[in-house]
Amino acid sequence: MLEAAPLTDGWILRHEGDALPAEVPGCVHTDLLAAGVIPDPFLGRNEAEVAWVGRREWTYERELDAGSAQEQTDLVFEGLDTAAEILLDGQLLGRVRNMHRSYRFDVTGLQGRLTVRFASAYTEAEAVRGRLGERPGAYAEPYQYLRKMACSFGWDWGPTLVTAGIWRPVRLEHWSTARIARVRPLVTVEEGTGRVELHVDVERTRVEAELVVEARVGEARARAEIDGSQGVVRLEVADPELWWPRGYGEQALYDVELTLLHGDEALDVWRRRIGFRSVELDTSADAYGTGFTLVVNSERLFARGVNWIPDDVFPSRITRERYRKRLRQAADAGVDLVRVWGGGIYESEDFYTACDELGLLVWQDFPFACAAYPEEQPLRGEVEAEARENVVRLMPHPSLVLWNGNNENLWGFRDWDWERRLAGESWGEGYYLGLLPRVVAELDPTRPYAAGSPWSGSWRHHPNDPAHGTHHSWEVWNRSDYADYRLHVPRFVAEFGWQAPPAYATLRRALPGEELAADSPGMLHHQKAEDGNGKLRRGLERHFAFPEGDFDRWHYLTQVNQARAIAAGIEHWRSHWPVCAGTVVWQLNDCWPVTSWAAIDGDGREKPLYHELRRLYADRLLTVQERGGGLVVAVVNQAAREWTGEVTLRRMSVDGGVLGGASVAFTAGAREVALVRVPRELEPDGAKEFLVANAQGLRALRFPAPDREIPYPRPEFDVELVPGGIAVTAHTLVRDLLLQADRLDPDARADRGLVTLLPGERVTFGVSGWRAPDAAAARAALYCVEPAR
């Protein structure tokens, strides 16, 4: 039987003649940080002080003894970041240049000093650029010239920390006669029968050995011979339980085991978990343009999505528990789709396993983002090799429902002046429209492929045409007010977002000793977006009087604006289902403490946006929208059962008076949207009035004017400590009340975000992790919208 021996211990990192302890898996930055050689690059402006690390060569070493009674021993690296040569006692085993691949070297009977010598990623990228010529990109860093996590080189939410190291596990594998080299599982469901085809590749030491493979899935068993180096095992499971995305059914998973046999001797075993489900992507033309609707088990979905970036700029630090926690947060917010963005990585098995178990659909970008990528060697061969490996590696996961060719590169070619600057040079089109769809069609025909995001499906339409395919909505954040989300109904909104700073406790930890201000040195350093603070200010000034010199109010109001902006988009687009078939918020998470579009900040704390997503992505949503020159209440029902009831409407004044009311019956079918017309006499008239709609515990509000024009009363409310939290009772209208629990205690968390209370209403904020409850502190941690000054 194949024996695997992890090589985690005994590594050293060579640094200027010194030998430092090295952690494997790991990277140079984390080893230097552990040894006290560099300061924490996440704190203050330390990022700039450690920039030299990415410009150096680095060497990892340890002793290796590959002796074994077995016939062959392989040295297996699951991931090397990025350009390196591997030597054993000075003899070259091989050279590598791709972070996204694994590598295997025959070291049978060898022993001695194992050396992994990493070149600077800058040196490698600049050498390739020198041979192939300049290509345009969104950033000046040369990330498009090597197969490495692009955001290592910085992004508009991330630091420039160019890593190197043995970032995934390394081991010795001892084996005899043959081993399983690859298993490609094709899992389908047809007419109530689950079918599994296991396409097996083997590597041999003895070509004459007769080999068979045995497989089992549940009660099903099958056996097949290996012809040369390949074989196919086919199994059927009658009436399998289906795997469903969360909110649509259970996540049934089946254990698969495949054993390679020589006679009665088991040589190697492959084990995975699979799920039976069908997935289609409906891109058919209709009266509105070209659709983009995911269909799972014949059920058409409105995708409630988030974009995922690497959860740490040093991915080797992301543990199974951290993946689980972050994805659990996504699921708890009502998310059912996670897009793995193309400037990052193919994530670890732990990520996809958690998605399988939580019912989170995965949209997987191939790692290309915001740049023109050369199609010549040495890149082309690396692209194909990594695609083939990772398509097969991720195929067992039922959560994976879509392969996507790139992020924004087709759009960039058309709109970002690339076509003129390229002057006929290659830029990646051959990957997205040629190589990658061929690889997916050959290896994984069970899943759809999209050429890019955004992409209209054809050059006949603009790549970012909202009427065709996927759309990225960034003009609103960059140039206008979030109310403009309501001007269009894209077929699928794959990116849109609004910035806000991280939680207060996150800022205090990341910027120790700094007097916080929107434009203080540390705050500016942890704001990577072009004119980010300017856009935050202009976004605020459209709704509020700007709080000059008041950091706490600025911090609160920017959080409010972020939540309201995302709500404006999602409520509008969900109300237009099935024309619009999904929203994917930019972004779920951060890779360090930073002002960004994230719902969960770099320390894992939830912003108010996170809690707002729980409302926006619930199965049932109430929202007031404009239709046909008047107002309607959109009753959005994504549940599997019909929803019937009454919408209670109240036209109110901001001083608390009720100016009119009515109750209107509604019926919203399963997975449907019902529109309830608001009587004209109940539509608010002017800045002093607003509309309240209630139905079965849900509420929607309509304020017809920006906050700076609304004559709010001075907010009055009582605060009391109650078991497990803080209760607030309003005596006036209290709009967007927020408990910033981390101001009570860095470990404290609140169970809800922004809440608007009418006079006489009461709400309880559940609080966990608060070690010393105090009523005065509770009141000081509560913020709400106040009258314009």
The two structure tokens encoding residue 88: 């054993």
**pLDDT at 789 > cutoff 90:** no
Q: Are strands 672-677 and 630-637 parallel, antiparallel or unpaired?
A: antiparallel
Helices 379-394 and 436-443, axial angle in degrees (round to 10): 30
The two structure tokens encoding residue 393: 């590696």
Write out the CATH class of domain 621-709.
mainly beta
Output phi, psi for 368, to 5 deg: -140, 130
The two structure tokens encoding residue 599: 């719902």
Residue range 691-703, pLDDT digits in tens: 999 999 999 999 9
Domain span(s) for CATH 3.20.20.80 in the chain: 299-616
Domain span(s) for CATH 2.60.40.10 in the chain: 177-274, 621-709
CB count, 10 Å around CB of 503? 27
Is the CATH code 2.60.120.260 the one for domain 3-172?
yes
Section 735-745 average pLDDT: 97
The two structure tokens encoding residue 237: 């499971």
What is the structure's pLDDT at 701? Answer: 98
What is the structure's pLDDT at 705? Answer: 95
Output phi, psi for 186, to 5 deg: -105, 115
In angstroms, rounded to a whole number, what is the distance separating the alpha carbons of residues 731 and 726?
A: 16
Residue range 658-676, pLDDT digits in tens: 999 999 999 999 999 999 9
What is the structure's pLDDT at 16? Answer: 81
Domain span(s) for CATH 2.60.120.260 in the chain: 3-172
Q: What pTM was computed for the model?
A: 0.97
Nearest alpha carbon to residue 397 among 235, 275, 279: 275
Residue range 578-600, pLDDT digits in tens: 999 999 999 999 999 999 999 99
Section 742-748 average pLDDT: 97
CATH architecture observed for domain 177-274? Sandwich (2.60)
Q: In this structure, are residues 360 and 382 in contact, taking their beta carbons and an 8 Å threshold?
A: no
DSSP per-residue string spanning 28-91: HHHHHHHTTSS--TTSTTHHHHTGGGGGS-EEEEEEEE---SSSEEEEEES--BSEEEEEETTE
Label residue 17 by pLDDT band (50, 70, 90).
confident
Question: Which amino acid, one-letter code, is at 533?
Answer: N
Across the chain, what does the average pLDDT equal?
Answer: 97
What is the structure's pLDDT at 598? Answer: 98
At the topology level, CATH places domain 299-616 in TIM Barrel (3.20.20)
What is the structure's pLDDT at 18? Answer: 87
**pLDDT at 357 > cutoff 80:** yes
- Which residues pair with residue 647 across a beta bridge? 664
In angstroms, rounded to a whole number, what is the distance separating the alpha carbons of residues 412 and 454?
A: 10
Residue range 522-579, pLDDT digits in tens: 999 999 999 999 999 999 999 999 999 999 999 999 999 999 999 999 999 999 999 9
The three-state (H, E, C) secondary structure of 709-738, written as one string: HCCCCCCCEEEEEECCEEEEEECCCEEEEE
Label residue 345 by pLDDT band (50, 70, 90).
very high
H/E stretch holding 295 reads: strand 293-296
Of residues 16 and 31, which shows the higher confidence score? 31
Percent of residues in the chain assigned helix, strand, coil, to nearest 5: 25, 35, 40
Distance, C-alpha 178 to centroid of its chain: 39
Section 254-263 average pLDDT: 98
Label residue 67 by pLDDT band (50, 70, 90).
very high
Distance, C-alpha 10 to centroid of its chain: 34
**pLDDT at 29 > cutoff 80:** yes
- Which residues pair with residue 624 across a beta bridge? 633
**Each residue of 161-199: b (16+ CB within 10 Å) or e?**
bbbbbbbbbbebbbbbbbbbeebbbbbebeeeebbbebe
**Cβ contacts of 127 within 8 Å, gap of 6 or more:** none
DSSP per-residue string spanning 346-406: PPPHHHHHHHHHHT-EEEEE-S-BSBPPP-STTHHHHHHHHHHHHHHHHTT-TTEEEEE--
**pLDDT at 489 > cutoff 90:** yes
| Three-state secondary-structure class, residue 649 | strand
The two structure tokens encoding residue 609: 């946006």
Rounded percentage of the chain residues whose pLDDT exceeds 90: 99
